[in-house]
Each structure stands twice: as C-alpha cells, then as structure tokens.
Structure 1
Amino acid sequence: MDHAASYVHGASPTPLLGETVGALLDRVTARWPDRPALVVRQQGVRWTYREFHAEVERVAAGLLALGLEPGDRVGIWAPNRAEWAVAQFAAPKAGLILVNINPAYRSHELAYSLNKVGCRALILPRAFKSSHYLDILRGLTPELDASPPGGLRAAALPDLRHVILLDGEAAPGTLRWCDIAADDAARKRLAAVDAELSFDDAVNIQFTSGTTGAPKGATLTHHNIVNNGFFIGEAMRLTEADRLCIPVPFYHCFGMVLGNLACVTHGACMVIPGEGFDALATLETVAEERCTALHGVPTMFIAELEHPRFREFDLSSLRTGIMAGSPCPIEVMRRVVREMHMSEVTIAYGMTETSPVSFQTVPDDPLELRVSTVGRIHPHVEVKIVDEAGRVVPRGTTGELLTRGYSVMRGYWGDEANTRLALDASRWMHTGDLAVIDDEGYCTIVGRLKDMIIRGGENIYPREIEEFLYGHPDIQDVQVFGVPDDRLGEQVCAWIRLRDGAAATEGSIQDYCRRHLAYFKVPHYVRFVDGFPMTVTGKVQKYLMREAMEAELSEKAGR
C-alpha cells in the first residue's frame, strides 16, 4: 500500500503562550502564591512561589543596579542549587541573557565560552567536588585580586566586569550573591525594563554538549523555552499539586526547561536532590519529599534501580517523569514503570537548538509505544523526514529528521557559518538524527547520521544492535559504533558493561548475536569496559570510543 509522506504537524487547540519568562513567573505567583515552588535539599531551602518571586525580583533589580544593561550576557558556572534557579528567572526579568556554562569546564573551555558570547558577569561558587572554580578563574584573570568589585579588566577575558560568588566570604575583586542590592531606584528600573521586553528577545545561550566537536552557543528566546516548558508539562499532566525531583543538570535544557520551566508553567514544585547526581540522594529525596515525578537520563535510572539500597525506599508517590538525553533501553523503561511506580513516565526527544523537545509520549500511549518510540509530534511543531537529496520520504522509511516552528533557536551566537549549516532558508533545523515516522505518527530515533555504520554497502543502525544486546542477561549497558576497516569500509564494534559477577566472553557475545541477527550486524569487535566517556548530561561520546578503538587497532597492526 502507498504510505503518506513523513511530515507531521502538531496542530493544537491550546494556543502558544505569548509572554516573557518574567511575565510567566508573575502570573503563576499571583495564582498560587502559597504553593511550594522550590525545595533544595542540601541548602535547606523551602520557598513558596511568593518567596521565590521575591528573591527573583531582588536579584533581577540588583543585577541592573550593578550597571548591567538589557542584552548583556551573564554566565552561570555552577552545579544545581537554589541560586541557579533564581538566576534562570532573574536574568530574563532584567532583560539579560543567561549563559549556561558546563560545571565540568576547565580554564580553556571557560575562556572560550565567556569570550565567544562576551559575558559581562559570571556567577560561580568557590568549588564543587574537584572543580575549584574561583582558583580556575584566578588562573585566567590574575588581575582579579587587584580589582575593585565590578571593575575587572582582564586580558584573557576582556568583556568580563563582574564576578559574583555564591558562597563563603567575599574574595578580592568579587561580589557575594547575598550582597546583591536592590534599592527603590533599581526596582523602578526593573519595572521599566520588564515592560519593554518582547517574548522574541534572546534570553538564554546554551552551548551544545560537544559530542561531535567544538561547542556552539545555541541562542534561545523567551518564546522558545516558555512554550516548550509548558507543553512538556502538559504531556506529563503536571498540576500545582505535583513535586518534580530534578537530578539532571540545570545548565542543560533537561534541567532548566524539562525540569524548572515545566514546573513553573504549571505551579508545580521544583525539588533538587543535590548539586550533582547521586543515586542514593535521589532515592532519599523522592521518598522524603513524596515526589510525584522524576527526571533522568537512562544511566541515572539504571544507577537508581541497581543501587543496593533501592528496595528500602517508598517510591509509591511517583507517577510520571521523563527519560531522555540519550536512547532509552526498552528493558530499563519497563523496570522504571514496574519497580519505580512511574506508570505515566514519558519519553522525550529533542536537541538544545529546539528548546529542546520535538516529540514526546503521553500517558495514554500504549506501553509498547512508550518504550519503543519517542511518541508523536509536540504541539505547534513541524517535522519532516528527508533523504540525502532533501526529499520527504514515505512513512516507515528512514531519513534525517528536520524540525521547524516556535521552538527553533535564533541561531548560534556569533557563528553565521554554522547557523547556515543547521538552519536552511525555510527555517528547517537539520538535526543530524536518523528517524522513522510510522503511519500513526509515532517517531523512532534510529541513530545519528554520523553514527550510521556502512559495512560492505549495508547500512547498519547501532541503536538496533544495542536494543538487542540489552536483552542479554549478563549485559548491564552497551554502546555500538563503527570503526574503519580496509576491506569493508567499517566494522561493528560493541563496548559492553557486564552485570556484577557475569563472565561473558567476546566469543559468547558474538555467538549470541549470530543466532538472532543478520551476519553483517554481528559485532566484529567486543570490548568489556567499566564505563563510557560521557558528557555531564549523560550523553555518550561515541567519537571518543571510536578514537580509542582506532588507536588500539593501529597499534596492533603496527602502524
């Protein structure tokens, strides 16, 4: 039979929200002033919406009082804590553009990010784990110690003027977060700025996670992230009674949009279990705070399910949440539904450049579709699947996923060349993801265009082999990728994490695959590893795995 074209449009009776981040918070606070807004376990913070709103207004006015002007960029280089959530709403309320800096960055990456977008201010804690942020910054700016607060002039960071410390005593050249002052003049200035803002103004710069090369600064507007957060919460059926546990990092869309904005758009409570992910702290927080929702990438859910104390915690309050960030193993999804009581858990798919979500499952979707697809198109978003010539392919056919609509970024900050590569003349965002849309509109992500393995002319999608291997009783986690081969072009390689006590061999894994998969899909190379190279957000960096295997094979060949 003839299949319809692989084009879907999220027609919706629910209109887009035409408001800024600040106007959203004003409206929600007026409606639910006494509902809990933010709980931060490690800081002892418990704020209602009225209290959260007051802190946002203080900081927003205080940033303007420092001399920052609408359109200036303010970097935040910090793990998850109360001040991050406040800055997420305070900066846009003041017309400033918040720049998310990866907490794992060191001096080279920090300097690149701050200089790329011309940050005027930087918010940071003294340290977190092995990252001594203030010391790293001092290494770049020896001028800091001799500078008055707000008067930094550093050769390595020429645009930076203000360094705002989140904790501890004041240090030379810095201002403490708690000392940000908002007098009557600053509050009047804030009201005047707020009234002039447009929801199409840039509000946030997020650097792509660097799985494929140098980070690029995706520039997002109020309209992008407010609406995406709202429709994400709608798909989860969030209400003001919900409490969402957010262990994923704020600096990434998963934390700040799927987490914080999904909550605030619905008057729900943001619950922060710790500065960085810890499986035990997350389980404790869900149980203690009676959270109704939990977010995570697959590796986080695996760590929670496999934790030796998992059975001790009452997770019966859980109902929903999102698993996203990387392909979700079907068996892990089933265990989350069964063992963590998350009967309405959803899968979401997207990318930073699209604010981020384009597809999401909903609770009404049959479980089989919720564990095997990323759902259907989000409201007010368009997607088409195209072949190498840019033609829309029939339903059921693999091609590259392109998306268009309110969610698509303005572009990469200061980078016209890469913007033109990603966004075509018709404003379609070229995602680089390989996908299939079925006759019912459900989308399956097959892999990355760059990850597809071509072995002897056969197109092989790593995701298919990974899903198969997740069914092996000895395998806890697996990643499949291609490595160069002189004869066939590429060969299939699998890196495998075994369960504790398992004793599989390369030969036994290959035999298992031969019984069930076409010969060309059987991994030619199998390596057993303790972990995978990952970004802070849990995205596996297959290019680093590929480089490691290429080096190993070259050494063996004596090259």
Structure 2
Amino acid sequence: MTSAPAPPGSADPRADLRWGTTSALLADAARRIPAAEAVVEGDARLSYAGLDAAVTAAARAFIAAGLRTGDRAAVWGPNSTRWIIAALGLQRAGGVLVPLNTRFKGAEAAFILGKSRTRILCVETDFLGQDYPALLAAGAGGRGLERPYAGLPDLETVVAMDGPAEDGIVPWDLFLADGERVTAAEAAERAAGLGPGDLSDMMFTSGTTGRPKGAMCTHGQTLRAYAVWSNVVGLREGDRYLVVNPFFHGFGYKAGWLASLLTGATVLPARTLDVPRVLETVRRERVTVLPGTPTLYQTMLEHPAFSADGVASLRLSVTGAANVPPALLRRIKDELGFEHVVQGYGLTESCGIVAMCRYDDSLETVSSTVGRPLPGLEVAVVDASGAPVPAGTEGELLVRGYAVMKGYFGEDAETAAAVDADGWLHTGDIGAVDGAGRIRVTDRIKDMFIVGGFNAYPAEIERILSRHPDVAQAAVVGVPDERMGEVGAAFVVPRRGRTVDPAGIIAWSRAEMANYKVPRHVHVVPELPTNAAGKVAKTVLRERLAEEGLGGG
C-alpha cells in the first residue's frame, strides 16, 4: 500500500531506525536546526537547541530523583512548554510517560497512578481553580501531611511544574537544581542505553467499557507511526502548529507536539479551548496547522470574533475525534480557508492511529471515509463469528502491524482478549473497507442501539441531522422505549441566528432517513458537553435524560 508523496522536509518514515528514541530525535533536531523555534507559548520562545538543553536538565533531575529505566513517571497538567520538557526529560532518563487527564478527580488519578505503579508525578498545582495535589491526596487515602498519598506506596516524588508548591511537593526549580548532582555525561549514557524496543509511554484507555487499562507503546512504534502520519497528512518543517488537543491524549501528544518535533515544525501549546484566544493566536503567530475536533471548528465558525482575514495563514486541518459531517467539512474548507482538510481514525491500543486520509484527497473522500491504513498496517473486517466479510460490508474492524500496543500493563487476560494469537487488535468499532482500501467507520459497538430489531448507529444519524439548515451540531443517544425496545434521542445546537423547532426536526428526519433512525426525542441546547479530548460527553447526555425520566441508552 502506498501513500501520497512526502512533501519536502518531512519526517523520515522509518524514524524508528533513524533515531530509535524520542531523545535521539530531539538531539538530532537540535544539531540540524538549532535556532529554529521549537515551542512558542505566549511571549516565551524556545529554540530546538534550547529545548534540547532543557530536556537534558530535566533528565538529570529525574535520574537524581531515583528514576530507573522502565520506571513510570506521570505528567498532570494543561498543555504547556514545561509539560513537553517533563515528558521528554523523563523519557531521556529511561522513564515511561503516563499522561493524566486534566479533568480527573482525585480517585481517578489515584487509580491510574496506582495501576501503573508510578514513582514520580509532575503536576501543575493550580489549574482552573483545581488543586491537583489536594484532589489526589483525598482520592489516595491521604493521612495528614506526613502521608498525603498513603494509598500510593510507589509514588515517591511529587514535583510542581507550575503553581504553588506546598509541604511535600518539590518546586520545579529545586527539582532541576537537585539534578545537578548528575552529570550531563551520566544523562547521555542513560539515553544512549535506550533503544526502539524500550517503552516510551503508557496511555490509559478512557474506561468506557470498564476500568481504564494502560496500553504500552515503545519509542520505535511511536516514532515510526507518527513519522508516517506526518508524511501522509503533509506536516512539514517550518509549519506553525497550534496544539489545542490536550497533551494527555494521543491527538495532542503524538499527533501534536511529537509530530512537530519529527518534522521541524513549531509547537504552540494552547492551555484551554478558548476560541477567542485560538483565533487571536492564529492571527498573531500566523498558524498554519490547526488540527481539532468538529466541535472546535464549529465554534470558531460561529464565533463573533471570526473573520476570514484572521485565519488566512491556515493550511492544514486534521480532525479525527468524531465522524465529521460532510456539511461541516465543506464549511471548514470554504470558510476557514484550509488548503488541506483530512481526517483519520485511531485508538489508544494502536498508538492512537490506524488510518488517515491523504493531504491531497478530495473533500468527497474525506467526508465519506477516514482514509486508508498507514503504510505497514493491515485492517480487516469480520462478522460476529470472526469470519472476514466482503468489501463494503460492515463488521468489526481489526488492526495488525507495528502500531499495535505491546499489551495492557499488568493485564494479561485483557491483552489476550484484545489482541488475538495472530496479532489482530479487535477494536470494538464497526466499519467497512471499500475496494480501494478506504475505511468507513460507522460507530462504536457499545454506542449502537436497537430499534425494533434494527441496528441504529448514532454517528450515521448525527451526520444526517447535520444537513439540516438550522442545525450546527447534533448528538444522538439511545433511550429505552416500551414498544420499540430503544429509540433515539437527539440533542441539537442551532446555527447562529437560527431557531430550531423539535417537532420540525422530527418531521424533517422522517423525510431524510429510515423510520427506525428518526429521533423520537429532540432537545435543543446552546452547546454540547465535551470531555477534555473534545469528544461529545454522551454520558452527560444520558444522565440528563435519566433525570428527565427517559432513562439511558
């Protein structure tokens, strides 16, 4: 399988062989383009040489704190330059990165830290009014100042990346100062001992089907996958990449700042999804690359501060957090002015990526598929018995190849259930592959609901609803129904200046889709709730329906 030609200056598609580790990647970039801007955050600008030096200082600090090769270290905080330095520093020291969701409560964070047996936690102590260490202490069974994290016996050091550092928490500056006990030569020796087969990160699943599980990926897997990804989407040296997707998610981490370093682009971290600030940053910094969720683009287009002149620098859009309605893709292309709009598909267990549209694919292709598998990856479609189905027929998507995780940490049985003896990862996603190898993802198996014996897929219904001239966004969930078993409930956000009538939406739907797909309940809302990864939080919608006596789907 071939990809679109790589644009000049893009990443080496066999980055696992060229660099081997994220540490070697950064060191090489610092030699090749030392003065180029690596990270820009507000008025602070860090060159590639400066980033490499900062990462070495952090690596020395992690080694001084007792981090051994293979130990886990976590980062908990919003997108920032220091987040990148901490992540690359612990990886240069041989550690395994465990990113924590910024919306976690204390017990949720404690579960991840305990499960991964994390030894060092780097945390921003005050973000959006949240005191993360205090939350963690409450969630980890803290017992006073002497044992604030009593339920986490492996957690030895908590470092404040930013914000106030109270008793028992090491300020970042002191953490780095202690690292001066370790020489740069010792840090270089530790980094040189690492290879592409060593673990780089442990990304935990969302937990929607049970307790979160830690998917283990190596340096080589990650470098190869995102060098190929960068070539496929057309990311290139000199691009200015505004990363609004959270760093704790693969979209913001691997397809965000890491892909930028692979290609020699500039990373601009966005701490929060603040649309006016995004629009201002795009204008001021002449941003060329702005991946994001459909929610982000929709909000930008509807915002009063939006102007075509202000986003004239934008070149590349990558979206993949949800199925993107064709009508919205056309607006992204025409009104935001992107030269290239692509979308893709991935999951935590495959280093976050499986398939991508190519940067020169037609809008028709992008609107109807998530593209083809990355070169070197295989995708199969099987029925409920595990038998392959013909091209164009829906079934469960399976993935095999270099991006598939090494397994779930400490979960042999769960690993065996997810990755079979032939190396196929069972995704739990429903889709089809056409004769050209392009993938169409229909829905998650768990999100499907059954209306009078017919399978209804929310993503498909949402795509149809998005065609309504008054609808900006739509989300659909299944709810119990005495006669049909389940029916659809739709939440719709009106387009700016438009009014939506629920009865009118239902009548329109009856003319546009099969009767079993038609939502029986329509709720007009000013916005859809989203999680920190930008995906619509359907659990919140189900809870609202339950409160109204409609139950959950």
TM-score class, shorter: over 0.9
Match of 2:227 among 213, 225, 230: 230
Cα distance change, pair 262–144 in 1 and its aligned pair in 2 (3 A): farther
Maintained 8 Å contact 2:63/2:182:
no
Q: How far does the alpha carbon of each residue in 1:256-292 deviate from its partner, in whole angstroms, 9 at most, with x for none?
A: 11111111111111112x3111111111111111111
Maintained 8 Å contact 1:228/1:357:
yes
Maintained 8 Å contact 2:205/2:215:
yes
1:243 is matched with: 240
The one-letter amino acid of 2:223's match is: V
Maintained 8 Å contact 1:164/1:177:
yes
Q: Cα offset for 1:169?
A: 5.2
CA distance in 2, matches of 1:489, 1:348: 33
Cα distance change, pair 184–553 in 1 and its aligned pair in 2 (3 A): closer
Q: How far does the alpha carbon of each residue in 1:43-88 deviate from its partner, in whole angstroms, 9 at most, with x for none?
A: x321110000000111011110112211111111100111111122
Query: TM-score normalized by structure 2?
Result: 0.92
Match of 1:460 among 438, 456, 462: 456
Maintained 8 Å contact 1:211/1:543:
no
CA distance in 1, matches of 2:100, 2:91: 16
2:53 is matched with: 54
Segment drifting more, 483-492 vs 349-358: 483-492
Match of 1:350 among 346, 370, 373: 346
2:134 is matched with: 135
2:21 is matched with: 20
Look up the SS of the partner of 2:16 in the other structure. coil
1:101 partnered with 2:100: yes
1:163 is matched with: 158
Q: Cα offset for 1:224?
A: 2.1
CA distance in 2, matches of 1:522, 1:405: 39
CA distance in 1, matches of 2:116, 2:81: 25
Cα distance change, pair 374–67 in 1 and its aligned pair in 2 (3 A): same
The within-5 A match list for 1:525-540 is 525-540=521-536
1:489 is matched with: 485
The one-letter amino acid of 1:158's match is: P
Maintained 8 Å contact 2:125/2:164:
no
**Larger relative contact order (C-alpha < 8 A, sep ≥ 6)?**
1
Maintained 8 Å contact 2:75/2:99:
yes
Maintained 8 Å contact 2:159/2:169:
yes
Maintained 8 Å contact 2:96/2:199:
yes
Q: Cα offset for 1:548?
A: 4.0
Look up the SS of the partner of 1:368 in the other structure. helix
Maintained 8 Å contact 2:480/2:551:
no
1:420 partnered with 2:377: no
Cα distance change, pair 417–451 in 1 and its aligned pair in 2 (3 A): same
Cα distance change, pair 9–316 in 1 and its aligned pair in 2 (3 A): closer
Maintained 8 Å contact 1:9/1:377:
no
The one-letter amino acid of 2:259's match is: A
CA distance in 2, matches of 1:304, 1:228: 30
CA distance in 1, matches of 2:501, 2:250: 39
Cα distance change, pair 118–186 in 1 and its aligned pair in 2 (3 A): farther
Q: Cα offset for 1:130?
A: 2.7
Q: How far does the alpha carbon of each residue in 1:402-424 deviate from its partner, in whole angstroms, 9 at most, with x for none?
A: 11111111122222232222111
Maintained 8 Å contact 1:17/1:223:
yes
The within-5 A match list for 1:265-304 is 265-272=262-269, 274-304=270-300
CA distance in 2, matches of 1:521, 1:170: 53
The within-5 A match list for 1:177-216 is 177-179=172-174, 180-181=176-177, 182-183=179-180, 185-216=182-213
- For the aligned residue pairs, the C-alpha RMSD in angstroms reads 2.3
Look up the SS of the partner of 2:310 in the other structure. coil
Cα distance change, pair 130–169 in 1 and its aligned pair in 2 (3 A): closer
Maintained 8 Å contact 1:218/1:413:
yes
1:83 is matched with: 82
Q: Cα offset for 1:515?
A: 1.6
The one-letter amino acid of 1:307's match is: H
1:3 is matched with: none
Maintained 8 Å contact 1:211/1:535:
no
The one-letter amino acid of 2:280's match is: E
Aligned residue-pair number: 541
Q: How far does the alpha carbon of each residue in 1:105-146 deviate from its partner, in whole angstroms, 9 at most, with x for none?
A: 111112111111111111111211131123324444756744
Maintained 8 Å contact 1:123/1:166:
yes
Q: How far does the alpha carbon of each residue in 1:387-407 deviate from its partner, in whole angstroms, 9 at most, with x for none?
A: 111111111111111111111
The within-5 A match list for 1:473-512 is 473-512=469-508
Q: Give the gaps of 5 or more residues in structure 1.
A: 1-7, 147-151
1:33 partnered with 2:30: no
The one-letter amino acid of 1:20's match is: T
Maintained 8 Å contact 1:144/1:172:
no
Cα distance change, pair 267–554 in 1 and its aligned pair in 2 (3 A): closer
Maintained 8 Å contact 1:279/1:304:
yes
Maintained 8 Å contact 1:484/1:550:
no
1:516 is matched with: 512
Q: Cα offset for 1:319?
A: 0.7
1:172 partnered with 2:178: no
Q: How far does the alpha carbon of each residue in 1:463-493 deviate from its partner, in whole angstroms, 9 at most, with x for none?
A: 2221111011221211122222333222222
Match of 1:218 among 196, 204, 215: 215
Maintained 8 Å contact 2:3/2:358:
no
Maintained 8 Å contact 1:211/1:539:
no
CA distance in 1, matches of 2:303, 2:209: 32
1:117 is matched with: 116
Cα distance change, pair 439–335 in 1 and its aligned pair in 2 (3 A): same
CA distance in 1, matches of 2:433, 2:457: 16
Cα distance change, pair 360–528 in 1 and its aligned pair in 2 (3 A): same
2:426 is matched with: 430
Maintained 8 Å contact 1:64/1:189:
no
Residue identity (%): 37
Q: Cα offset for 1:11?
A: 12
Query: TM-score normalized by structure 1?
Result: 0.92
Look up the SS of the partner of 2:431 in the other structure. strand
Look up the SS of the partner of 1:414 in the other structure. coil
The one-letter amino acid of 2:528's match is: F
The one-letter amino acid of 1:204's match is: D
